[in-house]
Amino acid sequence: MPDSAIRPRKEFGKTIAADITHRLREEIIACGLAPGEPLRFDVLRERFGASFTTLREALTALAAEGLVDAQEQRGFRVAPVSRQDLVEVTDARVLIEVELIRRSIERGDDDWEIAVISTLHRLKRIEQRDPEHPLRDPEWKIAHRQFHQALVSACGSATLLAIRAELFDRAERYRHLSANFRPRPRDKAGEHQAIMQAAISRNADLAVQLIEAHIRSTSDNVATYAGHLLDTE
């Protein structure tokens, strides 16, 4: 049956609202919608082809994730960025990710090792193919996300994984913010490789040290190259 031709757009979820939530999230993270930008319903309605109500539901969900700022009776806007927020997100990520890496290394089984190795492999393949601007490449972004996700996936706590995922998204937005101004990506491939090896060899202390450095240096990079964008508000 050609029912895919009938349904308009439901790529990521069964409901339109879930779909719009996903698309809006991606656009905000990629800074296709600038931080602080007002999200007017007329504009969104045209861009996403959904009704007021459906958009409202999506914006409410994203507000709970910290990517959208709900101003009661005065609409929504993309969550603003600031040095303070960048510091907080970085800091929270270190606290949680370090703990989850430890637990994953402690509890990870064969499937976990395979997931870590294979997601890194894919990431490297994509980087070889086009080493220039990885954040511009949607495939790289997905592979990168999946590698870091795999590292902590054996921690055993869906609750903490959900919190980690939110913080990861918020941090990714800052990376995009600085991507346009950063002269050249640093040697992430090497860092990822080292983290993988530390994890697989069950060297928790080393893995933790590398992850923390990885997160903090990314954050420092943003502060250096996008600092001028963080002072407006």
Partner DNA sequence: AACGGTATGATTTTCGAAAATATGGTTCTG
Partner DNA sequence: CAGAACCATATTTTCGAAAATCATACCGTT
Amino acid 105 reads: I
159 makes contact, choosing from DNA, a second copy, none, with CB < 5 to 8 Å by partner type, with a second copy
Rounded Cα gap, residues 191 and 195, in angstroms: 6
Question: How many residues are recorded in the chain?
Answer: 233
Residue 216 interface partner, choices a second copy, DNA, none, CB cut-off 5-8 Å depending on type: none
CA distances from 105 to 62, 94, 109, 125 (A): 32, 16, 9, 25
Quick one: 14 or 228, whose CB is closer to a second copy? Answer: 14
We find the least distance from the C-beta atom of residue 57 to a second copy, in angstroms, to be 5
| Interacting partner of 64 out of DNA, a second copy, none (Cβ under 5 to 8 A depending on kind) | a second copy
Half-sphere exposure of 124 (CA within 13 A, CB side): 13
- The footprint of DNA (CB under 7 A) covers 7, 14-17, 38-42, 49-54, 56-57, 71-76
Indicate the angle between helix axes 188-200 and 83-107, nearest 10 degrees. 30
206 binding partner (options DNA, a second copy, none; Cβ < 5 to 8 Å by kind): none
Give the Cα separation of 16 and 6 in Å (integer): 14
User: Which CB atom, from 15 or from 180, has the smaller least distance to a second copy?
Assistant: 15
Q: Helix, strand or coil for residue 49?
A: coil
Supply the minimum distance, in Å, between the C-beta of residue 170 and DNA.
Answer: 22
Name the residue nearer to DNA (CB basis): 43 or 95: 43
**Smallest gap, in angstroms, from Cβ of residue 37 to DNA?**
11
Instruction: Quote the Cα angle for 68-228-165, to 5°.
Output: 35
Cβ proximity to DNA: between 8 and 183 the closer is 8
| 40 contact choice in a second copy, DNA, none (CB below 5 to 8 Å, kind-dependent) | DNA
